[in-house]
Amino acid sequence: MAPMDDPTVIATRFATITRKMVNDAAQVAIDAFDKINKTGGSTYTAADAIESMTTLAGIAISGGSALARIPLQIQPDNGPMVVADEVAAVITLALTDATAVARDAAEKINDGTFRANWVDSAVALTGMAVLRAAEAAEAIGAGPGVLGDPRKAFPYTINGVNLTDQLVLKMASPLARPDVADEDIARLVRFDPDGGVLKAGRGNSDFSLTINCAGIPSGIYLGQVEVLKTDGTQAIPPIKVTLNL
Amino acid sequence: MLNLLQSQLAFYGAIDDAVVHAQQGGGENSDEVLRTVEAMLPGTTGFGQAGWYRELEDFANRPGVRTSDVPVTFPSLTDSLAYLAAPTAASREQVAVAAFQGNLDPEREKLAEHVSGSYFPDGDPVLARCAYAAMVLEQITQLGGLPPTLTTHQDAPTQIMANAINAWGGSTKKLTDHAVKSNKRVQRLLTQSGAVHSRENWHSLATKEVTKKFADQSLPCFGTLVDVNGQYCSTIYTDATDDTLSVDDIEKIIDPTNWSLCCKFFCNVAAQAPPYTARGWSRILETIGPDCSEWCLKTALVFYYGSDSGSGSIFINYDLDPNRQSDSGLVEVDNGYIWITPTNGTDPSQSGVQIRTSKQERVQGLSPTATSALGCLLGWGDAAYELLGGTAKKILDGTISANLQPFQETPPAGYQSQTGSGGAQPPAAGARPTLPPNFADAVNDARDLLNNLINRTRDVTADAANRWMDGMTREDVKEITEGIGTNLEEFALDVYQTAENNVKPQMTKE
């Protein structure tokens, strides 16, 4: 038997649980279809609908909890925890979708256009379960291994300054995509050398700014780097920066 | 109807089928097949990644995506090979109609590839990517990894490679069987494929045997996962150069409303009404798909057009329109940039241009691998490559007559009179079914309970795992796990009870 922390065993366990969620959810729809399309007329009732929904919820709960337990059974590291977090996010999204469907139904009831279209309901709900489960499976399969490095570095050279002067770099606000209201990611900028301090007597005036762009929209961001003397006055006019994040 | 994009996708689909076959232990060297494909097409062979081709086919048939009356079926490898070998617009249409096996609507709008004088294959990146697929398929074939459904296509790599290179060079002459099999360059590319162990290896080989531009374009991009607002998105970066075009040339055609003229995946890109946001970004509805009369995605986007006179560059930023007017409602994240800079100094009129792009995308219910296929194989994410292709050049030099929308910096003059407060709210995804009365309350409660449950489970799990690292025994872990299980069961019962309490067991009837 493979050791408990064998990644293949872990991945297989994730996949098995997720597959069971998908199959179980599909069976709910199949049962509903059978009742709805029964020869002689539908026998699908409101009670059946409740059962379908609670069964789907049960699938999400049991599957989600089983997935969440797995990190406990293995050597913990960041990888599985990131995956568990993503699975939790995916299940949350699925529930949000289900809520949207229900809210829409409630609106239709209120305006008198409600119809007992159980086929559509079953298909939509099962579709959500299956699709979101597929996303969960993808997250599990992909894991953190293919996560892109969100850090991007941009090198610059300052011209027209004296190497014997100490300089301090400061990212001016805003650093943003042009004409985007209230956007400013200047606080995410980190300088190299540390703190943006170019010490007196250095060999050159090179620096780079680094941004961890996780969680921000991709785009061309425009801004300015201020080059200050130790007394806070500007050594040279600000350097314009164009960052493709 | 069959077209070049779908044919190319079928070649990559054959690779995916071989991967699925290998995952199931099929073939003679399944592990080696998986290693080879992962090296050539990263992120396509793992759990939840393999099988993306059939996933995409299912996606094409989803409500809100499929536009035809009949189910969408992706083309067979046989039909796709025949299409690639067809050298003229008339012969391509003939193959497409034969593959369709039905009566086509005479009013149906023809694809540019099926209209003489509207499509020029020279420099088409889709053809270069076909060649790359041929190389990977050749490696799979040599490893004995073709699945049973494809074993009759042992010569597919030769056919694909020969016809793709022939057309990429601009030829509209059909290759004979003899010419396909005896082409020395094709033979060299395929016989050396066994020694290609990385994308870099292939790039060197393709540069030597064809051209650097061909090699650049042949490498399909691949997505990496990035966390955007708590959701993992597929992110694609591309970087292309051209020595013959200038920034000024690209500026003439870069407006997205021109893309449908030369980028095959863009069926229609049109201004919305009102055309501008309150800050002057252009509101545009993008309709994409390999053949939008079969399936497509409609996404409402906003575009910003900017320039930097100091560097001679121009750029476009885009993002989802907060007002998702006329939108399919399936795209959850779609943002990025196109950045065009001169490669020789800062004069935008001088030849030599670099186009860098980035695209973050997430489509509801579609895995990042399949989403990346939309971006990297069909051209959603790298439209810039096609702006450097033969068809775009024919538009720029006037051979193909087109009324190009000029690049107009944001905000355009007088835009304030053409903005609006918005129209419809974003549509919900897919169909809008109905549920019993008051079920919304039940589901709302269930959602809140379950969100709480999931968060609690995650937190408890993390805490327990941390304690384990500090020296807990496996017995301790077992006890904690059982405790969590009991907790979960109690929560689940609460969910059921809450749902039942909220639902009135009567149906409203007409």
Transcribe B205-240 into DSSP letters: HHHHHS-HHHHHHHS----EEEEETTEEEEEEEEEE
Higher per-residue confidence, B46 vs B185: B185
A188: pLDDT confidence band, cut at 50, 70 and 90? Answer: confident
The answer to whether the Cβ–Cβ distance between B228 and A215 falls below 8 Å is yes
pLDDT band, residue A67 (cuts 50/70/90): low
Residue whose C-alpha is closest to residue B504's, from A106, A22, A189, A214: A106
Chain B nearest C-alpha distance from A231 (Å):
30
Average pLDDT over residues B478-485: 52
**Angle at CA of residue A110, ends A46 and A99, nearest 5°:** 60
Domain boundary among A108, A130, A146: A146
pLDDT digits (tens, 9 = 90+) for B482-504: 555 555 455 444 544 444 344 32
DSSP string, A166-216: -EEEEEPSP-B-TT-TT---GGGEEEESGGGEE-TT-S--EEEEEEE-TTS
What percentage of chain B reaches a pLDDT higher than 90? 40
Which residues of chain A are within 8 Å of residue B481 when distances are taken between CB atoms?
Answer: 69, 72-73
Q: Give the range with max mean pLDDT: B86-100, B148-162, B224-238, B434-448.
A: B148-162
Question: B458–A124: do the CB atoms touch at under 8 Å?
Answer: no
Task: Kindly indicate the confidence band of residue B3, based on its pLDDT and cuts at 50, 70 and 90.
Answer: confident
Taking the C-alpha atoms of residue A103 and residue A101, their distance in angstroms, rounded to an integer, is 5
**Which of B231, B451, B468 has its CB closest to that of A95?**
B451
> Chain A interface, mutation test: which of B52, B358, B361, B454, most A Cβ atoms within 10 Å?
B454
Q: Which CATH number is A36's domain given?
A: 1.20.120
pLDDT reading at B510 higher than 90:
no
- Give yes or no for residue B397 having a pLDDT over 70: yes
Quick check: A180 and B279 CB within 8 A? Answer: yes
Pair A40, A111 in one domain: yes
Mean pLDDT, chain B, as a whole number? 80
Q: What is the pLDDT of residue A139?
A: 47
Same domain, A156 and A234: yes
Q: Which residue has the higher pLDDT, B353 or B452?
A: B353
Do both A137 and A160 map to the same domain? no
**Which ipTM value was assigned to this complex?**
0.72
The residue that leads in pLDDT, B156 or B227, is B156
A73 interaction partners in chain B (CB closer than 8 Å): 477, 481
Q: Which of A113, A146, A179 is the last residue before a domain boundary?
A: A146
Q: Give me the helices (H) in B328-382, please.
A: 368-376
Query: Does residue A137 share a domain with residue A17?
Result: yes
Question: Which of B311, B443, B500 has its CB closest to that of A102?
Answer: B443
Residue B118 near residue B400, CB atoms below 8 Å: yes
pLDDT of residue A140: 45
Give yes or no: residues A215 and A118 share one domain: no
Top pLDDT among A96 and B224 is at B224
CA distance A120 to chain B (A): 5
Q: How far is B431 from chain A (nearest CA, A)?
A: 7
Same domain, yes or no, for A78 and A141?
A: yes
Residue A63, class by beta-carbon neighbours within 10 Å (0-12 exposed, 13-18 middle, 19+ buried)? buried
Is A2 contained in some domain? no
Architecture of domain B222-418: 2-Layer Sandwich (3.30)
Say if residues A124 and A202 touch (Cβ distance below 8 Å): no
Contact B506 A148 (CB under 8 A): no
Residues of B in contact with A108 (CB under 8 A): 434
Please, which residues have CB within 8 angstroms of residue B120's CB and are 6 or more apart in sequence? B170, B389, B390, B391, B393, B394, B399
For range B35-50, the mean pLDDT: 84
- Taking only the tens place, the pLDDT of each residue in A220-231 is 999 999 999 999
Closest CA to A10 of A89, A85, A83: A83
pLDDT tier at B261 (50, 70, 90 boundaries)? confident
CB contact under 8 Å between A105 and B435, yes or no, is: yes
Contact A108 B434 (CB under 8 A): yes
Q: Are residues A190 and A95 in the same domain?
A: no
When pLDDT is cut at 50, 70 and 90, the band that residue A37 belongs to is low
Closest Cα of chain A to B60: distance in Å?
14
The token duo for A91 is 């299940």
Which of the four pLDDT bands, split at 50, 70 and 90, describes residue B42? confident
* Final residue before a domain boundary, out of A101, A131, A146: A146
Angle, CA A178 vertex, CA A174 and CA A183 arms, to 5°: 45
Question: Chain B residues with CB inside 8 Å of A216's CB?
Answer: 228
Give the model's pLDDT for residue B472. 44
Whether residue A117 sits in one domain with residue A44: yes
Predicted confidence band at B161 (pLDDT cuts at 50, 70, 90)? Answer: very high
Select the highest-mean-pLDDT range: A34-43, A154-163, B37-46, B286-295. Answer: A154-163
Q: Is residue A190 part of a domain?
A: yes
Contact between chains at B279 and A114 (C-beta distance less than 8 A):
no
Percent composition of chain A: helix, strand, coil (DSSP 3-state, to 5): 50, 20, 30
Q: Does one domain contain both A234 and A213?
A: yes
Residues of B in contact with A77 (CB under 8 A): none
Is residue A49 one of the residues assigned to a domain? Answer: yes
8 Å CB contact of A142 and B368: yes
In a domain, A115, yes or no: yes
**Does residue A190 carry a pLDDT above 50?**
yes
Which residue would you say has higher pLDDT here, B343 or A111?
Answer: B343
Are B455 and A88 in contact (CB < 8 Å)? Answer: yes
- Beta strand B313-320 with B331-342 is antiparallel
Residue B57 or residue B468, greater confidence: B57
CB contact under 8 A, B505 and A47: yes
Q: Which residue of A has its CA nearest to B479?
A: A72
Number of domains in chain A: 2
pLDDT score for B448: 53
Examine the pLDDT at B190 and tell me if it is beyond 90: yes
Which residues of chain A neighbour B48 with C-beta distances below 8 Å? 15, 134, 137-142
Same domain, A132 and A184: no
Mean pLDDT score, B341-359: 93
Whether A163 is covered by a domain: the verdict is yes
Most confident of A94-103, A142-151, B307-316: B307-316
Read off the pLDDT band of B333 (50, 70, 90). Answer: confident
Residue B259 is classified by DSSP as G
Average pLDDT over residues B11-28: 92
pLDDT of residue A69: 47
Compute the average pLDDT of residues A193-204.
94
Q: What pLDDT is recorded for position B134?
A: 97
Mean pLDDT check: name the lowest of A227-231, B74-78, B327-331, B489-493.
B489-493
Tell whether A99 is covered by a domain. yes
Contact state of A219 with B46 under an 8 Å Cβ cutoff:
no
* Residue B161: Cβ-neighbour burial (10 angstroms; 0-12, 13-18, 19+): buried
Distance, in Å, from the CA atom of B259 to the CA atom of B384, rounded to the nearest integer, reads: 9
What is the model's pLDDT at position A96? 57
Query: Do A106 and A133 fall within a single domain?
Result: yes
Quickly state the pLDDT bin for B244 (edges 50, 70, 90).
confident
Residues pairing with B336 in the sheet: B318, B359
Residue of B nearest to A138 (CA): B48
**What whole-number distance in Å separates Cα of residue B247 and Cα of residue B315?**
10
Domain of residue A68, residue span:
7-146
Domain assignment present for residue A109? The answer is: yes
Give B279→chain A minimum CA distance, Å: 6
Q: Is the pLDDT of residue B456 over 70?
A: no
Q: Give residue B34's pLDDT.
A: 92
Residue A117 belongs to some domain of the structure = yes
What's the pLDDT score for residue B495? 45
Average pLDDT over residues A156-172: 95
A205 plus A161 within the same structural domain: yes
Q: Determine the Cα–Cα distance for residues B396 and B407; give it in Å rounded to an integer.
A: 14
